[in-house]
Amino acid sequence: MAVLLLADVNDGALATDAVAKALSAVKGLGEVHILVAGTSAAAAAEAAKLDGAAKVLHADDAAYDHGMAEATAALIVSLAGGYSHIAAAATAFSKNVLPRAAALLDVMVISDVTAVVDADTFERPIYAGNAIQTVKSSDAKKVLTVRTASFNAAATSGSAAVEKVSATADASLSKWVEDKVAASDRPELTSAGIVVSGGRGVGSQSDFALIEKLADKLGAAVGASRAAVDSGYAPNDWQVGQTGKVVAPTLYVAVGISGAIQHLAGMKDSKVIVAINKDEEAPIFQVADYGLVADLFNAVPEMIEKL
Amino acid sequence: MKVLVPVKRVIDYNVKVRVKADGSGVDLANVKMSMNPFDEIAVEEAIRLKEKGIATEVVVVSIGVKQAQETLRTALAMGADRAILIEATADVHTDIEPLAVAKLLAGVVKEEAPGLVLCGKQAIDNDMNATGQMLSALLGWSQATFASELAIEGDTAKVTREVDGGLQTIAVKMPAIVTVDLRLNEPRYASLPNIMKAKAKPLAAKTPADYGVDVAPRLSVVKTVEPAGRKAGVKVGSIDELIAKLKDEAGVI
């Protein structure tokens, strides 16, 4: 059977990394058709380049341009007939849409899949990653979101056909008003090779600039612990952890982060973890490959200077 | 306008989770349980709507074991008016799946006719992040997930949502389902007099049969394991040593 993969499109651009990783996760389940919803022909063309996509379905209608759940879920349901699996990267967009589509299909959603065992069986973290559960679905169709940090991105050397699908969107339930997305030249948090994160120890919003400076020196994305976000030092979309984003970069630098369970849930699959903290008892040192017990206000400027 | 708030009894967020030896799940026997933190935020928001004169009544509902009435009493002590307990299992280790929960809640919505349902965005036990969206689908209502701001203006709810790149604002037609994120508010603590008063507030007991819903799970647990542990590495003495290790040993910069 075939897989319908819902693509993330942000402001007309395909979230290539997320879609490419979700594609890797599901391509063993059958022929993959990528669904691009919205008016962006560029996003559909970009999706067509992903290796392993058999075709791209482009629902070219402005009603889908802002990823509204009601219209997008209805679109998925209208296409669901030919598919055994409906999947997407586990992003804010698909976590909004796929459970709605699943309920309309009278099936359960399987969220944050970290491994595909077979067509019915999947691994996923529960309790903030403190346990990994293998579940087997008895539903006729499987609807799942895929945790991108667990999979490598598919290459972009393909050339699948783009097929238009007719769309009948009812936009009466909800209306998009505006997006407030911070423009940044830094890499995107969930796909960056290096992430530098600050915690409560950073102490203030103005001192968080130090974390950003180190990140820029390393060409890294900036992250933050929930404590730092709750204290107003950093915006919420920088949050790494159970209630924020899950990242698995090659290098994760945790500065002034104690290492609460909920933060570890978002970064413990990083390849190399560095912790800088003045409290040598901080739990972050139990997962760090390299730990430096030091005052971050001395250590970070020194590191910026010496890199 | 009546506001309905579903609340879930979950393991307290401070408790260290232990996987059961037989791999069937996480050990919940004799473990401290609390209201799901996101649901607390939903209860708080509903009470604030009542204090502003927008909501007229706050009804809380919990689905699960009989002991969930403690969770409901907590919500009543915070300021909810009335509670419904749907006893769907006698076993604390049985988690009723979001799809079944949504079907039961759809039954409650049909009886209670609220103008707004406020849910936590996810429960910190199964981390599924699905119930609100599923309920919205079953009712054919509009949905606004991951809310960090909520303003109700007539028959429209203006909701600011936490999305991946920042914030998104949408306007949804009422009645609506809104799922709440961490930054919406800071829940209050119940005062002792209110805890006492909550004991006298009405709590109705129901069963899934009352709503004609089959709660049999669609997902069966094959096994549950502890995640692969990560070993502590080495402590370095200086930034120079750290940079050298990252360059030469790890090869990551």
ipTM of the complex: 0.95
Distance CA A268, CA B250 (A): 17
Q: Is the domain of A112 the same as that of A37?
A: yes
Distance CA A7, CA A56 (A): 10
Residue B185 contacts by C-beta under 8 Å, 6 or more apart in sequence? B41, B44, B45, B48
Q: What is the reported pLDDT for A278?
A: 97
| Residue A110 resides in a domain | yes
What does the pLDDT look like over B35-93, one tens digit per residue? 999 999 999 999 999 999 999 999 999 999 999 999 999 999 999 999 999 999 999 99
Q: Is the domain of A160 the same as that of A200?
A: no
Q: Is the domain of A112 the same as that of A209?
A: no
* Banded model confidence at residue A243, pLDDT cuts 50, 70, 90: confident
What does the pLDDT look like over A199-208, one tens digit per residue? 999 999 999 9
Q: What is the reported pLDDT for A303?
A: 97
Q: How many domains are there within chain A?
A: 2
Residue A80 pLDDT > 90: yes
| Residue A280 resides in a domain | yes
| Residue A122 resides in a domain | yes
Q: What is the reported pLDDT for B242?
A: 97
Q: Is the domain of A128 the same as that of A31?
A: yes
Q: Which residues pair with B85 in a beta bridge?
A: B62, B205
CA-wise closest residue to A188 among A245, A232, A131, A140 = A245
Q: Summarize the confidence of residues A99-125 as an average pLDDT.
A: 98
| Residue A173 resides in a domain | no
| Residue A152 resides in a domain | yes
Distance from CA of B196 to the nearest CA of A (A): 32
Q: Is the domain of A151 the same as that of A77?
A: yes
| Residue A55 resides in a domain | yes
List of chain B residues whose C-beta atoms are within 8 Å of the C-beta of residue A106:
99
- Which stretches of chain B score pLDDT less than 70? none
CA-wise closest residue to B123 among B134, B113, B137 = B134
Q: Is the domain of A156 the same as that of A209?
A: no
Share of chain A above pLDDT 70, in %: 100
Asked which of A61-65, A192-196, B35-39, B140-144 is least confident by mean pLDDT, the reply is A61-65
End residue of a domain, out of A142, A164, A186: A164
Measured in degrees and rounded to the nearest 5, phi and psi for residue A188 equal -70, 140
| Residue A182 resides in a domain | no
Q: Which of residues 104-163 of B touch A (CB under 8 A)?
A: 122, 124-131, 133-138, 141-146, 148, 158, 161-163
Q: Is the domain of A105 the same as that of A210?
A: no
* Banded model confidence at residue A171, pLDDT cuts 50, 70, 90: confident
User: What's the domain range around A46?
Assistant: 2-164
Q: Is the domain of A144 the same as that of A53?
A: yes
Q: What is the reported pLDDT for A164?
A: 96
Sign of the Cα pseudo-torsion (B91, B197, B56, B180, in order) = negative
Among the partner residues A177, A242, A274, nearest to B169 by beta-carbon distance: A177
Q: What is the reported pLDDT for B31?
A: 95
Q: Is the domain of A204 the same as that of A301?
A: yes
User: Searching chain A, which residue's CA lies closest to the CA of residue B103?
Assistant: A103
Residue A206 is part of a domain; what is its CATH number? 3.40.50.1220
| Residue A187 resides in a domain | no
Residue A174 pLDDT > 90: yes
Q: For chain B, which domains are there? A: 2-249 (3.40.50.620)
Q: Is the domain of A13 the same as that of A124?
A: yes
